[in-house]
Chain A
Amino acid sequence: MRMWAQSHLYQKPQRLNSVLAAAFALIFLILSASQSASALPAFARKYGLRCSACHESWPMLNYFGQKFKDNGYQLMNERDAPIWQNASYWPVTFRITPIWHRFSTGKVPIDNFSGTGQTEQRVTSSGFDLSGLDFHTGGTLEKNFSFYVLPSSNNAASFHFETVMARLDNIFGSPWLNVKFGKFELDNLLSEKRILTLTANGGIYQLYHFIPQGDANIFGQIGDNQLGVEVMGHSFNDRTRYSASLLSTNNGQVGLPYGSQSYTGFFTASQAFDTGKLGVQRLGFYAIVGQAATTYLTSGGNVVPGSGTNNKGFSREGFVGQFYFGQHFDVQVVTQHGSDSAWFGQGYGDFPDNSSTAVCNAQGPTPGSTIQQPCNNVPGTQLVAGSRNPTWNGVLIEPHYVYSPQLIFLARYETIRMSQQSTPGTRSNLGNIDTYTVGYRYNPFMTSRAGFAWHNEFNLFHQVGTSALSGTNINTSEVLTGFDFDF
């Protein structure tokens, strides 16, 4: 409350009134301007369905769209094979988003004018910008043989393969057995790849990427696409679904840069329930359990790729709920309990991404002493006395108000609380996160193989004790407006 008491909005109510009036006028105009949805994106064109049939709001899937995806991008009718497509049809979509973005970060270390020392200062920048380009192509190679390839770039057009996978669908004629192979998104019911928000901090689920302060385990990020094989199955109507994946522990990076014997499992299961006028509710769980290397061979001080050994464990698990309250309002909920080995908590793990001079804490020669040594975890290393597995708990709540298939209002609150720090004596709430996001997406039209959303979003991100100099809290705010389109 004090925060807002100091704000311009509070001190100048007449200005607040004008802003609110403008906002209401804008919302009124948008609502009155809504047109009938008419859409034929890449898949929809093949089947003659509106975008809204599969998307609660593009790109987020609804239940029917999830079933379509689970069937290997098939409606399971006689027209799934490519032979039914026009010969000139190419199942491809480009997506890019020109934006205007305002980013304000507190507690940035700034060199003093005197030339000595640094002072923390808020840095705010704004201007017009671009997202990266996504080049989606996917569909069926033949009935029950599906694929997806997604070269994706950053905003400087540096490309990588975000997704490359082929899938055998309905093996033995059963929807309970489908096998996917390659690099793919984990089977998160609340998909980060189909997130409805775009800001730097609000455009991801923090829960899917959280790493405690000082922790070097980058491998438990369930929001990142991973390399491996997935077995997935579902009931005919998709009410019941499960998946189990075996993944290389390399956070989706090609070239086997980490341990050659490090694997991770990701498991999900969920059940949907018909609750009459409220809609279909779904409850499920997920768990990722894996091991990652903490010791690497070096050559000339540089890590030898793929030489990682001395695996240590990590896990994240939680519940997922998709609750619908009629046709217009729904709430998505994800919880998480996470735990990393104390080795990761002390900085061992992602050494190849560190420089050869990176140092980690280790037990010194005398009891109770601490030394610093290269993070490649040379033989004989012992952890600092009392080192513990860092653990944490978190939850994200994302309500949507779907005014129509063309207009969706959304909000999100995420909180992550450390329950145990790796190093004894560390303040208990170091690294805790709270983030708030609000926004809306308006699709003025949806035409053949194209989607267009006018996107507006505000995000507030708060993390405890992580400023570089003072160790105090960091607050970051973002405003983003843009035209999110694919064609």
Chain B
Amino acid sequence: MNCLKPIRFTGAILFTAILGVVFAAAFPATASAQDVPDLGPKPHVVIKPMESHIGNVTGHAAAAKSDYRRYCAGCHGDYGDSNGENAVWLDPKPRDFTIATFKCRSTPTGTLPTDEDIFNTIARGLTNSNMPVWSTFTKQQRADLVAYIKIFSPRWEKEKSGEPIKIPAEPPVTMESISHGKALFTKLECWKCHGPHGEGDGPSAATLTDSKDNPIRPYNFAAGKGDSRFKCGNTNQDVYKIFMTGLDGTPMPSFADVIQPNDAWDLVHFLRTLQVDRHSKENEVLSAAHGVIPPYVDRNPPPAAAPPADNKPPGGAN
């Protein structure tokens, strides 16, 4: 049996240790000089004991500290203020958790979202942004992250989440429904931002900004081909919710006080026809009519603002 000769690597370890001491001692000074030149060390994030509740899963903010740093802070910032080191390169800008304003909610405009709203947003990602689909997380990880982002705004301590809106059953997709939706698209001036064909090129599109004065583009329904998704989900119910809750922090308002539920469903059906490459019931109905949406006959026309004469109204075959 040949035993290993005594290993003479204590010198190597010492060499390594000395190198490491020099290295580790020298580096923080360099980093401080680069990262915080005048203001001294950054304050630590105080992790409040926030919780989230999604089904039978309870999330705890403290448990998400590492995951937030690993996955989120690069864009949303260590302090949740959307000032991560990557934020400057991103368009649209990442969400600022310190103001607790969220686009994708099931709750009325101006209210806090439910825990589940944020939970679902993390898993779904946000189309047309740099927010990926974080479907690799466990439910517990996502629930912990939902709790974690609450530490950044005092709103979560002062207010409760809004009550989720009720979504009535979806009526059948008919040409009349689509036609009415198209009329509403004109009447509500959706086309001013989204463009006459829903391509995000309306006359106001170039002037839009979000609540932090960052430029923002309206959704282009025609983009994305067959896999096109809406920002807050992909079902007709998700689109309905957007009408009725609005996308807080953006120019997209809530129409809950303006239109009736059935009107909203008609609008959903019309918008689906703007997703020209998407296979949908709405496009089937439209195809059956040879791609022509007949004018909607409004038997009780309410007063509505007409589009300016110099802007083209939506129309034509889809």
A interface residue numbers (CB < 8 A to B): 2-3, 6-9, 15, 19, 22-23, 25-26, 29-30, 32-33, 35-40, 47-50, 52-53, 63-64, 67, 75-79, 100, 102, 104, 106-107, 122, 124, 126, 173, 236-238, 274-277, 279-280, 327-328, 404-405, 442, 444-445, 454, 456, 458, 460, 462, 467, 470, 472-473, 475, 477, 479, 481
Contacts and interface: CB of A to CB of B under 8 A. Distances in A.
Contact of B69 (A37, A276, A454, A462): A37
Contacts of A126: 12
B17 interface: yes
B17 A22 contact: yes
Given A3-B4, A124-B8, A477-B7, 12 more contacts: A23-B17, A33-B25, A48-B75, A48-B130, A50-B74, A50-B86, A53-B70, A77-B128, A77-B132, A276-B139, A442-B24, A460-B4
Contact of A104 (B2, B7, B136, B226): B7
Given A64-B71, A77-B125, A22 B14 contact: yes
User: What DSSP secondary structure best describes chain B's contact surface?
Assistant: helix
B132 A6 contact: no
B272 to A, nearest CB: 18
Contacts of B153: none
Contacts of A50: 70-71, 73-74, 86
B125 A26 contact: no
Interface string B62-97: 010011011101110010000001100110000000
B3 interface: yes
A475 B23 CA distance: 32
B230 to A, nearest CB: 12
A170 to B, nearest CB: 9
Nearest to B226: A173
Contacts of A475: 2-5
Chain B interface: which size bin?
Answer: 35 or more
Given A75-B133, A280-B138, A173 B71 contact: no
Given A38-B85, A102-B12, A274-B138, A47 B130 contact: yes
A25 B71 contact: no
B161 to A, nearest CB: 24
9 nearest A-B pairs in the assembled complex, by CB-CB distance: A50-B74, A237-B135, A29-B24, A22-B17, A475-B4, A48-B86, A479-B12, A26-B20, A52-B70
Interface of B: 1-10, 12-21, 23-25, 27-28, 31, 35, 57, 63, 66-67, 69-71, 73-75, 78, 85-86, 89-90, 125, 127-130, 132-136, 138-141, 223-224, 226-227
Contact of B5 (A106, A442, A479): A106
Given A38-B85, A106-B4, A33 B28 contact: yes
Nearest to B60: A277
30 contacts: A3-B3, A6-B3, A15-B10, A19-B14, A19-B17, A22-B13, A22-B14, A23-B13, A29-B21, A35-B35, A37-B70, A47-B130, A49-B86, A63-B136, A64-B132, A75-B125, A77-B132, A78-B224, A104-B5, A106-B2, A238-B136, A274-B138, A275-B138, A444-B23, A456-B20, A460-B4, A475-B3, A475-B4, A479-B9, A479-B13
